[in-house]
Amino acid sequence: MNPADRPLPVIELHRHLEGAVRLTTMLELADRHGLRLPGRTVAELRPHVVITGSLGGLLDFLQRLQWMIHVLADVDACRRIAYESIEDAAREGIDYLELRFSPGFMARPHGLDATAVVAAVVDGARAGERAFGVRTNLIGIMSRTFGPDACREELEALLAHQDAIRALDLAGDEARWPGRHFHSHFRRGRDAGWQVTVHAGEAGGADNVRYAVEELGATRIGHGIKAAGDPELLRMLADRGIGLEINLTSNVQTATVPSLAAHPMRMFLDAGIRASLNTDDPVISGIDLEYEIAFAAPAAGLSPAHVRQARENALATAYLTPAERAELERRAAARIAGS
């Protein structure tokens, strides 16, 4: 078989649990716990959560997440949304999902124990994986928005369930809290045997991307858009095989890029950078992975060959062992053969 024709698994590497909560679940949890939302029906709630058009920036985007974590009144709610996220991924036809979450951020509205939140998410994700057959790895996020000390507490909660976490991430207010404030955090994460991916080059500059790779040990970058203006950095990313987790629609909504047509994704791929297509916060963005591939990608100037390359990049940069990667490819081939 021509390598260009071999079946590829459907892979999502950058999806936030907190940005993938069903609107119906939000309403049910709010009703159960006596919480107020800015709407009592899906139609009333949608304009306050789901984005149409673009916002003023990353922090405006992150504000939408506040309603989603507002309904996480107990750890059972955390378990439920993890389970449902795997079910939703299965409905999208996803074979492999890397689902990331911030236990401190999820715990904050109702004073939950962050370690218990991690346990609940792990339990829900594993139950969903068994029920729906979507291989899932979890990425623990430190929410830099709340500063290094809060991130250290969040890291402790994740380390309490070290074997259930595949990688460590840093997300939130990049402009205020660049990576240099979290060097020791990532050293501990690497010592735990975790992979490293860092949100960088979204609300901050190319230097943040470089620092994440060279100093924090990142093998993938969440977004990385600002690397587009630094030719030397682009060469380094390509030479080292660093993955860029690209989220086309989200990047427009956060005003990281002015439009899909102006997105540098095609340039990244043409430069030999291992960029992949992802959804970021699918419920907030009002999209799914198929939308990104079928509609956003062509609008960003990607040809079918570019999309194929992005999918191959997702497989190559996924946080999988060689045996796990081979099994995923085998399952994809078997599915195609049986269809």
Tell me which residues are annotated as active site: 202
> Using H for helix, E for strand and C for coil, what is the string for 128-187?
HHHHHCCEEEEEEEEEHHHCHHHHHHHHHHHHCCHHHCCEEEEECCCCCCCHHHHHHHHH
Provide the token pair at 112.
């939950």
SS3 264: coil
The letter for the amino acid at 271 is: A
Runs of H (alpha helix) within the chain:
23-33, 42-49, 58-70, 75-91, 103-107, 114-132, 148-159, 183-191, 206-214, 231-240, 248-253, 265-270, 282-285, 289-291, 297-299, 304-317, 322-338
Evaluated on CA atoms 177, 182, 183, 187, the torsion sign reads negative
12 strand-pairing partners? 97
The alpha carbons of the chain give a radius of gyration, in whole angstroms, of 19
Asked if 87 and 132 touch (Cβ cutoff 8 Å), the reply is: yes
